[in-house]
Amino acid sequence: MTAGTVPPLVELAGVGKSYGPVRALSDVRLTVRAGEVACVLGDNGAGKSTLIKIITGLHRPDEGEFRVDGEPVRLSGPRAALGLGIAAVHQDLATVPLMPVWRNFFLGSELTRGRGPFQRLDIARMKRTADAELRGMGIVLDDLDQPVGSLSGGQRQSVAIARAVHFGARVLVLDEPTAALGVKQSGVVLKYIVAARERGLGVVFITHNPHHAYLVGDHFTVLRLGAVELSAARGAVSLEELITRMAGGAELAALRHELGQAAGGGAGAGPGEDGDDAGT
């Protein structure tokens, strides 16, 4: 099979989702390929959260088709998604702040040794494995025994990303990973997004920040009120157009015109009123 015929890792074709009378998604199309970052942008209420839930198996679409490796699937839940290599890193990171880094890395999947009543945690092996995996992603921590809550926001995101990669993720869904971070820590996270792409993963980067998306993205999908406002490869869209389309180009232009008219009317009223006053 040639590179051109390799099916996408994940593909959404004409996907729609409603919650009672509320239409959350309508005819959404998204393709996630190995070694690419697919950015999904949109403001609050655009449908990003619903899209995440569908990709990770939490919800099923009402319409359209969800394909993994080119085959239609109906995920029964997040565990089924994980079984297919689809992992999500949510904003809360699913970490325990007071536990050490190595323990959080293996949280729920601890390595043990011995049998029966003599079974115990294999702490040494977990520390070695966590350190090797983190270093493989370019993350060097001096002390894996430090509480994960003592790390910076960017470092915690990076640990969560490395953990997902270690446990077999082929598609990494990142839910607003830079939303609560400053410029420096956002840069740390973006660097590890690129590292995941270079390891051959497909990355779905959910964000409302077009500047961050444009730094790492290979393809951009802009959602607006549940529908696709823009779907374009990196070479086909500029950062300025991405910002405009995300803000709602037509509505933004109308607002600019309306504000311009209001300012012009206010400016014109002043001299007229002054003239009337002068004449009385």
* Per-residue model confidence (pLDDT) at position 280: 40
**156 near 95, Cβ under 8 Å?**
yes
The phi, psi pair for 59, rounded to 5°, reads -125, 155
- Residue-wise pLDDT tens digits, 187-196: 888 998 998 9
* Per-residue model confidence (pLDDT) at position 255: 65
* Per-residue model confidence (pLDDT) at position 67: 96
- Residue-wise pLDDT tens digits, 27-46: 999 999 999 999 999 988 89
Measuring CA to CA, how many Å separate 156 from each of 46, 178, 277? 27, 11, 66
Q: Which carries the bigger pLDDT value, residue 159 or residue 38?
A: 38
- For residue 254, what pLDDT band results from cuts at 50, 70 and 90? low
What is the value of pTM for the model shown?
0.82
- Residue-wise pLDDT tens digits, 76-103: 999 999 999 999 988 766 788 899 999 9
For the chain, the average pLDDT equals 86
Tell me which residue of 143, 173, 138, 169 sits closest to 50, measured CA to CA: 173
Q: Which carries the bigger pLDDT value, residue 219 or residue 268?
A: 219
User: Cα 93 to chain center, whole Å?
Assistant: 12
Token readout for 272 is 């007229």
- For residue 265, what pLDDT band results from cuts at 50, 70 and 90? low
pLDDT over 70 percentage in the chain = 88
Measuring CA to CA, how many Å separate 43 from each of 50, 224, 248? 13, 7, 10
* Per-residue model confidence (pLDDT) at position 250: 58
* Per-residue model confidence (pLDDT) at position 257: 67
CB-CB neighbours of 239 under 10 Å: 13
Cα(159)–Cα(95) distance, rounded to whole angstroms? 10
**Per-position DSSP letters for 191-224, written without gaps between them:** HHHHHHHHTT-EEEEEES-HHHHHHH-SEEEEEE
